[in-house]
Amino acid sequence: MSACIRIMERHLYLAYDPLKSPDYKVIYVWRFAGDLLYKILIYSSETRVWRLSKSDEYFYYSSKAHFDRGAYWNGAVHWHCDTDNWLYFNIDKEKLNIMPPPVKLEDGLLKRPFVYFGESGGHLHVVEDYSQAVALYIYEMEIDYSGWYKKREVRLDAIPAALPETTKLRYPTEEGITLLSVICRESDEDWFLVLQVHGCIVQYSLGCEASWVQVHFDFDHNVYGGGLRSWGWYDAFQYTLSCFSHFILCS
């Protein structure tokens, strides 16, 4: 007798640091339809085999977890949630753990959603929704997961004044500035934000509060069915120079 198992969600994550090893792992999280049971499978480039995680065969999670927007940092895949229990999966130990959110919650729910969650320069960052705020706050997680602290504060009124004139003139009626990525460096002066502004990808320096256009797009071009305006931080990926990418550039 056979049974058909319907999978409701499925998410894949690449755990790979070319600066440490040429090998990589793929983490596969999927959920059964009709319940909140999840399962984690792991693929290793060394063995070329898929297998179940050594920890819990299944895990139950009733809160709203954004498994479609994970971040790889500190040897683990991390997920932000809409409640006070955020999750991360330690790949070497194959163990699912809980970490705290960066801000206090009201009635068990986040007061404001997060508009960025990602890794850069060996650090994990989150940014709160800044649409109704006067500043953009970048929170950073402690290496031991003891908590978050406010790493940077960016004045929102300084960003429009620093934008290149081309971004102001091309589409003056389109709304908003979308944060795509936070790039941190050893020196705080070298930090910058990657923004989507009216059809342009803009690099905004936090050290000198200046910016310049990196890429122009056709704003009416249909991307993911919604145009460039539908892009978010989960659509942007950092480029890491490695031996493989150097080979491609030179060949």
Q: What is the DSSP letter of 186?
A: S
Tokens of 59: 């895990």
Instruction: Give the integer Cα–Cα distance in Å for 91 and 11.
Output: 16
Q: How far apart are CA 3 and CA 250, in angstroms?
A: 51
Distance CA 60, CA 69 (A): 19
Predicted local confidence at residue 225, as pLDDT: 47
Give the pLDDT of residue 213. Answer: 63
Structure tokens at 157: 């009124």
Share in percent of the chain as helix, strand, coil (round to 5): 10, 40, 45
The pLDDT of residue 208 is 79
Query: Are 54 and 69 spatial neighbours (Cβ–Cβ below 8 Å)?
Result: no
Q: CA-to-CA distance for 118 and 87, rounded, in angstroms? A: 14
Six-digit token string for 87: 């999750």
Residues 6+ apart with CB under 8 A from 98: 85, 86, 87
- Distance between CA atoms of residues 35 and 153, nearest Å: 41
Residues in the chain: 251
- In DSSP terms, which residues pair with 200 in a beta bridge? 197, 216
For the chain, which residues score pLDDT lower than 70?
1-8, 33-35, 55-58, 60-63, 104-112, 131, 162-176, 199, 209-230, 240-251
Calpha distance 181→202 (Å, rounded): 11
Report which of 236, 1, 3, 245 is spatially closest to residue 120, judged by C-alpha positions: 236
Q: How far apart are CA 102 and CA 145, in angstroms?
A: 11
Global model pTM greater than 0.85: no
Task: Note the pLDDT of residue 56.
Answer: 59
